[in-house]
Amino acid sequence: MLSALLLAAGRSSRMGTQKLLLPFAGHTVIEQLVQEILRSRIDHLWVVTGHDEARIHQVLKDRPVSYVHNPDPARGMLSSVRCGIGAMPGTCKACMVVLGDQPSLTCVLIDILIKAFEATPKGLLVPCYEGRRGHPLLLSACYFEEIHHQFDHVGLRGLLQAHPDDLCEYPVASDQVLSDMDYPNDYLREINRL
């Protein structure tokens, strides 16, 4: 079973408003992303919420997703990843970690990354565009326990650094793997992509 973990717990303080609920492609940023993940070969989607949890639940209420609450999202992205993988069943063999603010991510690219992950003997896969690492990251369940107990100050970057021999840097043709939204100008850039 291959699960996706959508990180949606942040406050969006740099954006000045909850960025996941901004309008995008006829609905909201998070709805767009969830729609693409559900259209992909991912077996199950887990959404990690924190700030604005009720509002996110409301916009996703008709989607077949599971929710995990991060009680302390101020501790950063790794805390959300830990909450998410801690909730996944033992049947989960691998996980795709997806940032909640990548609305340009498509089901086509997700499936390309899944196929590449299945084809490599490596337990970690990160997409790269023109030599730069991006998201989403795919990781084998064999790393779940390590993630729970290590990398407090460096996050998942520390996991990649700790296991260079088990890492596949997979080149992709689109810069969408580098495009997240922190500031209003980033949001405008993503709207213009449409």
Domains located in the chain, CATH noted:
2-193 (3.90.550.10)
Q: DSSP 3-state assignment of 20?
A: helix
Strands (E), the chain: 2-8, 23-24, 27-28, 44-49, 66-69, 94-99, 124-129, 132-133, 137-140, 167-171
**Cα distance between residue 109 and residue 89, in whole Å:** 25
pLDDT at 81: 96
pLDDT at 182: 83
Residue 90, both tokens: 């033992």
Q: Which residues of the chain are under the pLDDT cut of 50? A: none
pLDDT at 11: 79
Looking at beta carbons, which pairs linking 85-88 to residues 24 or more positions away fall under 8 Å?
85/5, 85/141, 85/144, 85/147, 85/148, 86/148, 87/46, 88/3, 88/5, 88/46, 88/141, 88/144
pLDDT at 153: 86
pLDDT at 131: 92
pLDDT at 134: 95
pLDDT at 139: 97
